[in-house]
Copies of this chain bind each other. A is one copy, B any other.
Amino acid sequence: MNPIKVGLLGIGTVGSGTFAVLKRNQTEISRRAGRDIVVTMIADRDLDKARTLADDNIQVTDDAFAVVVDPDIDIVVELIGGVTVAKDLILKAIENGKHVVTANKALLASSGTEIFAAAREKGVIVAFEAAVAGGIPIIKALREGLTANRIEWIAGIINGTANFILSEMREKGQSFETVLEQAKLLGYAEADPTFDIEGIDAAHKITIMSAIAFGIPVQFDKVYVEGITQLTGEDIRYAEELGYRIKLLGMTKRTKKGIELRVHPTLIPSQRLIANVEGVMNAVVVKGDAVGATLYYGAGAGAEPTGSSVVADLVDVTRMQTADPMHRVPSLAFQPDLLSSTPVISMDEVETAYYLRLRVIDKPGVLADISRILAQSDISINAMVQKEPTAEDNVDIIMLTHLTIEKRINEAIVDIEKLPVVTGHVVRIRLEELKND
């Protein structure tokens, strides 16, 4: 059988990793795919780098558009990133009847609906395992492995940089700023780490998983995002004393009111497996009604782990292209004409538990005032710890609430902060038990 011909756009970290894996394991991959999969064109602005990768059978160009229109190419692998040129290239590739494999989470989270519709019209496949959680085959698990289930929720540690920072802060007792600098030195954080530490990257990924899990369109504009820049070592330590770890979690959940879609620092019970995922590793917990909670763990980034997912998609596309298009795995797991219109609810409506830290002046009656405000907002307390007073006679009070509505807790915090005995702002971190029931 003829080999499948691949055009590779972009040979940065993931592009190089993909090329290396495909080359090193070509025999193993062909033994599985039943067919050779070969890169025949590489496009990159750095022609010298491209030429060092390529052998005589690979055409090198700095014009990516030449690849997506080339009649010899079966599959275009887009690893350029960004939401402008990459989008044009993918749409052009689709228009020319090419299947597409991409790791571009930002693009799919924002323009997925348009791209999948274009692919459907041309009867081609757009595969994107590498867009979420690097080497972990989580898209496949969600779209195929768990098809029997009504998915109830997904919770994921899906940004390695943020998880590395939180792990180090906890283990070494260092500040956010100190650990961020280390992460940059180690290559775990980029020079501009905004996307990672502000939760935007995680938001892209949870948006894509949410769409697949619940059969809704991708709606990046609806995701609530809160990063880890405000977290202090104190809260990490207090949480640990209460039996919790703080993780930057991407959450999406089916509720009676609609779909919850959010990224924020979250307390998780320390005994949960996902709470023990440390460093740059990623993990996703998926709760299905039949299977219960399942967890998927592995490297969430890096050249070869992400390349592993790109190549898995290449093999999948190679296999699926001969299947009747109606019978292929749908891009968003559900048949496109059967997508649900269940709304994504606003953060105000989300129901969860909370960790609150209040700094108060240590005198009688303080607790009574605070308790009264919480009770008026119908918020009940699950646990409370009062720490030792500091030199200035300030004392930290930590409260864990039962489930309540975000709107209510925010209103209560406004009232609590008005109390003269409360100094500074109330720290509020969401808490998820992630129970398997």
Which chain A residues have a beta carbon within 8 Å of chain B's beta carbons? 1, 17, 21-22, 24-25, 28-29, 31-35, 129, 135-137, 140-141, 143-150, 215, 273, 276-277, 283, 288-299, 304-305, 307-312, 315-316, 318-324, 326-330, 333-335, 338
A292 to B323, CA, bound (A): 31
Q: Which of B1, B291, B305, B319 contacts A291 (CB 8 A)?
A: B305
Ranked 6 nearest A-B pairs via Cβ: A137-B145, A148-B311, A294-B298, A135-B291, A323-B323, A295-B297
Q: Which of B141, B290, B320 contacts A137 (CB 8 A)?
A: B141
State the Cβ distance, A293 to closest chain B Cβ, in Å.
7
- Can you name 26 A-B pairs with beta carbons within 8 Å? A17-B290, A21-B149, A25-B290, A28-B149, A29-B148, A32-B215, A32-B333, A34-B326, A34-B330, A34-B335, A137-B146, A144-B312, A147-B312, A148-B312, A149-B308, A289-B304, A290-B307, A291-B299, A291-B305, A292-B298, A294-B296, A295-B298, A318-B327, A322-B324, A323-B324, A323-B327
Contact: B140 with A144, CB < 8 Å? Answer: yes
A47 to B115, CA, bound (A): 51
User: For residue A327, which residues in chain B have a CB less than 8 angstroms away from its CB?
Assistant: 34-35, 318-323
Contact: B145 with A140, CB < 8 Å? Answer: yes
Q: Which of B129, B148, B304 contacts A307 (CB 8 A)?
A: B148
User: For residue A25, which residues in chain B have a CB less than 8 angstroms away from its CB?
Assistant: 148-150, 289-290
User: For residue A324, which residues in chain B have a CB less than 8 angstroms away from its CB?
Assistant: 322-323
State the Cβ distance, A18 to closest chain B Cβ, in Å.
9
Q: Which of B1, B145, B291, B297 contacts A304 (CB 8 A)?
A: B291
A324 to B145, CA, bound (A): 22
User: For residue A311, which residues in chain B have a CB less than 8 angstroms away from its CB?
Assistant: 147-148, 290
User: For residue A137, which residues in chain B have a CB less than 8 angstroms away from its CB?
Assistant: 140-141, 144-146, 294
Contact: B276 with A292, CB < 8 Å? Answer: no
User: For residue A295, which residues in chain B have a CB less than 8 angstroms away from its CB?
Assistant: 283, 295-298
User: For residue A21, which residues in chain B have a CB less than 8 angstroms away from its CB?
Assistant: 148-149, 290
A334 to B25, CA, bound (A): 13
Q: Which of B135, B312, B322 contacts A323 (CB 8 A)?
A: B322
A310 to B319, CA, bound (A): 22
Contact: B29 with A135, CB < 8 Å? Answer: no
Contact: A308 with B146, CB < 8 Å? Answer: yes
Q: Given contact pairs A17-B290, A290-B308, enumerate 8 new A-B contacts (beta carbons under 8 Å).
A: A25-B150, A31-B334, A144-B315, A290-B307, A292-B304, A294-B297, A320-B323, A322-B327
A89 to B245, CA, bound (A): 51
Q: Which of B291, B320, B334 contacts A298 (CB 8 A)?
A: B291
Contact: A215 with B31, CB < 8 Å? Answer: yes
Contact: B289 with A293, CB < 8 Å? Answer: no
A144 to B318, CA, bound (A): 12
Q: Which of B24, B273, B316, B334 contacts A277 (CB 8 A)?
A: B273
State the Cβ distance, A423 to closest chain B Cβ, in Å.
39
Q: Which of B136, B144, B289, B298 contacts A316 (CB 8 A)?
A: B144
Residue of B nearest to A22 (CB): B148
User: For residue A321, which residues in chain B have a CB less than 8 angstroms away from its CB?
Assistant: 327
Contact: B334 with A294, CB < 8 Å? Answer: no
User: For residue A289, which residues in chain B have a CB less than 8 angstroms away from its CB?
Assistant: 24-25, 304
